[in-house]
Amino acid sequence: MSGSVLVHGRRLQTNEPVRWELPEETPVSLIYNDIPHAVMLATPRDLEDFARGFSLTEGLVTDVSQIETIRVEPQSTGVSLHIRIPSQHLHCEKLGGRAIEGRSGCGICGVHDLGDLLNPRQTGSPEMGLSVEALARAVREMPDYQPMKRLNRSVHGAAYCQPDGRIVLVREDLGRHNAMDKLAGALHTAAISGDDGFILVTSRISVEIVHKALAMGAPVLVGLSAPSSLAYAVAGKAGLTLMGQDETGQFIVFAEPSANSTP
């Protein structure tokens, strides 16, 4: 699947015909050991990365290496991801009777109670001192790593960056949380540890993005706008450095391990 669909439109002012690559939005069913678990709306690219990352960030496994097989099966109405995990590694309490449906812009799809949401895992990662130059480099170079965004101007990106701002991996999707899941899966495939760099997202930072960054072990999460109040609170509680940008492009540190996260 290409991840985009060519359509034809017209400019309202001039009536000039326009060709546009729209991002593809497809129902993706995640099926664990033959048990349907979730249907997500996602861009149908990098779906094995998506299956790996979703399994990790939603708490179905504690390590991506516990996944035995992934089978991508196109359907007439979408795509099925058949994921096989040995029973001793699958967190079965997350399955069965708790099927979830996620829109491409949805939030806390895999959080089943408030305790999961408000009591995050700790980062376990050392503090990382990042320079303004490193952050500016990552933001400046991000568009070069987003081929889908150049086509359609519609998708989100999630990037893993070195402390000097060099971008290592990027994944794109209509849903910002899907892009994070794909990045998590790609990091595992590339045998890259998430605690050696920082994550940059081309969107606002909501609480589910914080939870997914924590699952990857990232010590720093940077967004291109401000976080939500809940993202701020959870990041502070977890010891995650949380940064955003103001309207002038300057970087704002909202939460960091050495600061009190309580307003």
User: Which of the residues are catalytic?
Assistant: 106
- Structure tokens that stand for 56 in this block: 């990790």
Contact yes or no for 40/65 (Cβ under 8 A) = no
* Residues 253, 156, 167, 218, CA torsion sign: positive
The C-alpha angle with vertex 2 and arms to 159 and 99, in degrees rounded to 5, equals 70
Contact yes or no for 29/78 (Cβ under 8 A) = yes
Cα separations in angstroms, 66 against 62, 83, 90: 8, 11, 8
Contact yes or no for 240/205 (Cβ under 8 A) = no
* Residues 165, 63, 148, 242, CA torsion sign: negative
